[in-house]
Amino acid sequence: MGVLASIACGIIGSYVVVKRISFISGSIAHSAFGGIGMSFFFNIHPLIGAIGFGLVSAVIMGTVHLRYKQHEDTLIGMLWAVGMAVGILFIHFSSGYAGDLFSYLFGNILVTSTMDITLILICDVLILITVFGLYRAFQAVTFDEEYAMILNLPVTFLYFILLCLISFTTVILIRVVGVILVIALLTLPAAAALNVSRNLKWIMLLSILFGIFSTLTGIFLSHWWNIPASSIIILCCASVYFLSLGVIKFR
C-alpha cells in the first residue's frame, strides 16, 4: 500500500514542486478533511467524501488562480481553514463515535481495508494514464502558462486536471500519513529528487523510489518500536531531503 501511494505521490509531487504549488496542494488536502467529516455524518466511506471535497476545492483553487490571482494567497489559507472547520463540525454532529478520526488526521497505514486499496489503485491508474497521455501538454503548461496559451493549449482545462490529480493524490496520502502531514509526503520526496536530477522523468522516478523507501522504513520501524508510522515516514522523507542537499554541494 505504501508502494502504491508512493507511485501517485512521486509523479504528482514532482509537478507540485516544480510548479511551486505546495500551498495549494496543502489547502486541497486540509479542505478534504471537510469531506471526511461529512462522510462520517452521512455514514459513507470517508475517502469518498474526501475525494468529493478534494475535487470541489481543486475547482475552486483553479478558478481563483485564473481569475482572482491577487487574492490567491488569502483564499488558499481560507479554504484550508474552512475545510478543517467544516470537518470538525460534521464530526461533532455525527452519530456514534468517530474512532477513525485520529487515523485520518495522523494516518494509519498499518490498518487498511480492501476498499482503501481499490480506491488507491484506481487513482494510481488514472494518474498514470493522464500523465502519460498529456505529458508534453503538462510540461508546456507548468513551464510557462502564458506561452502555453499561445500554443493553443486549453490551459484552464489542463490546470484543472492537474489540480484534480493532486486532489486524488492527497486523498490517498491522507490514508498514509493523515491530513496534517500530507504536504510533507507530497513535496519532500520530489524536492529531494529535484536536487539530484534535472530531467523530469528521472525526478518522478526518483521521488517514487524515495517515497517507497520512506514509507516502507516507516512501516517497519513503527511496527518494531510501536510508534506512529506517519511520524517516522515524514522524518525519513526529511532525512532523504537533507541528504539530497549534500548532493548539490558535491557537484
Partner 1 sequence: MNALLPILEVHNVTFGYKETHVLENVSFSINPTDFLAIIGPNGGGKTTLIKLIMGTLSPQQGSITVFGETPAIGRKYIGYVPQFNPIDTDYPIQVWEVVFMNRLLHHPFQRYNAKAKKDVLRALDWVGIAHLYHRSLSALSGGEKQRVFLARALLNSPRLLILDEPTSSVDFYAEKGFFELLKALNQNMAIVMITHDLSVVSRTVKQVACLNVKLIYHGDKELTEKDFEEVYGCPIELIAHGTPHRVLGAHHDHH
Q: For residue 34, give the C-alpha cell.
A: 471537510
> Using the rule CB under 8 A, is 198 a contact of partner 1?
yes
Taking CB under 8 A as the criterion, which residues in 12-71 touch partner 1?
18
Q: For residue 244, give the C-alpha cell.
A: 539530497
Which of 42, 68, 143, 220 is close enough to bind partner 1 by CB under 8 A? 143
- Helices within 43-113 (DSSP H only): 46-67, 72-93, 101-106
> Using the rule CB under 8 A, is 226 a contact of partner 1?
no
Which of 7, 21, 64, 200 is close enough to bind partner 1 by CB under 8 A? 200
Give SS3 for 199: coil
193 neighbors 207 (Cβ within 8 angstroms): yes
Stretch that binds partner 1, among 43-51, 56-64, 150-158, 169-177 (CB under 8 A): 150-158
Q: What angle in degrees, to the nearest 10, is found between the helix axes of 155-196 and 22-42?
A: 110
> Using the rule CB under 8 A, is 128 a contact of partner 1?
no
CB of 139 to partner 1, least distance (A): 7
Which of 6, 39, 108, 142 is close enough to bind partner 1 by CB under 8 A? 142
Could you give the CA distance from residue 25 to residue 186 in angstroms, rounded to a whole number?
A: 8
Give SS3 for 110: coil
Residues engaged in binding partner 1 (CB under 8 A): 18, 133, 136-137, 139-140, 142-144, 146-147, 149-153, 194, 197-200, 203
